[in-house]
Amino acid sequence: MERLRDRRVLVTGAGSGIGRATTLRLLEEGARVIGTDVSEEGLEGTQKAAAIAGLTTFTMDVADEASVASRMASAIDVLGGLDVLVNAAGILLASHTHETSLELWNRVLAVNLTGTFLTTRAALPALLESGKGVVVNFSSTSASFAHPYMAAYSASKGGIQAFTHSLALEYGKQGLRVVSIAPGSVKSGITDSAASWLPKDPDFSLFGRLLPILPTDHKTEVGNAVAGPEAVAGVVAMLASDDGKFITGTEIRIDGGTHT
């Protein structure tokens, strides 16, 4: 199936986890993809994993305005335009809220929320010129459901959902569709590094509500059952294609029934 034949796509956070899986799936569906990430090593891994031609990679820091402006211009030049933007880049730094520093709070919002704004702002002229532009933002189940130790992360993802709704209304008459994905219980770079971001004294009983009801194949370092990132990549491919042509201004939760 090549639902995305010749679609011009930029994916942020393409160097690992869901961003990498999404990049590979879009390539399989016929898209020409620019993959960006702050990690050059991660992008090299994605290039090696790509079995199909059509992938170009750039390092880009989504939290840096100059980096975004420069790399987005280069990407649009290489692709000859832009049809789809996938904002998959993100970080999770967690702590007890009463111990959360302003530096940590600002860093999480800078990458997750401001980064989504910066990349989208830079891409909008080309997406609107396309006439069939699509923006897929990455929110999280933490935006709508309680997740312990993640106040900054949850706030950033809630902001992404609100941003998504505003964009969808503002640009809908110009043919732009904007949707946010809300993954939960999905294997990613963030879940793989869970042991490094949890507080030193976590109450693991608080994570009991974060388990999916469907069977899964993976477990994180804290023992939560999770699905593979491919579960999200397939949904992104649908949204980017004409199969998603009547979906905009909403969230799609992908969590195996965790929050049923």
Q: Dihedrals φ, ψ of 187, to 5°?
A: -70, 130
Structure tokens at 143: 């935006």
* β-pair type (134-138, 84-87): parallel
CB 129 within 8 A of CB 81: yes
* Helical (H) or strand (E) element with 32: strand 32-37
Return d(Cα 5, Cα 26) in angstroms, integer.
9
CB 136 within 8 A of CB 87: yes
Q: Active-site residue 153, yes or no?
A: yes
Catalytic residue among 117, 149, 153, 207: 153
CB 58 within 8 A of CB 34: yes
- Residue 177: Cβ-neighbour burial (10 angstroms; 0-12, 13-18, 19+): buried
Say which DSSP state 112 is in.
I
Which amino acid is located at 71 in the chain? R
Q: Which residues are annotated as catalytic?
A: 153
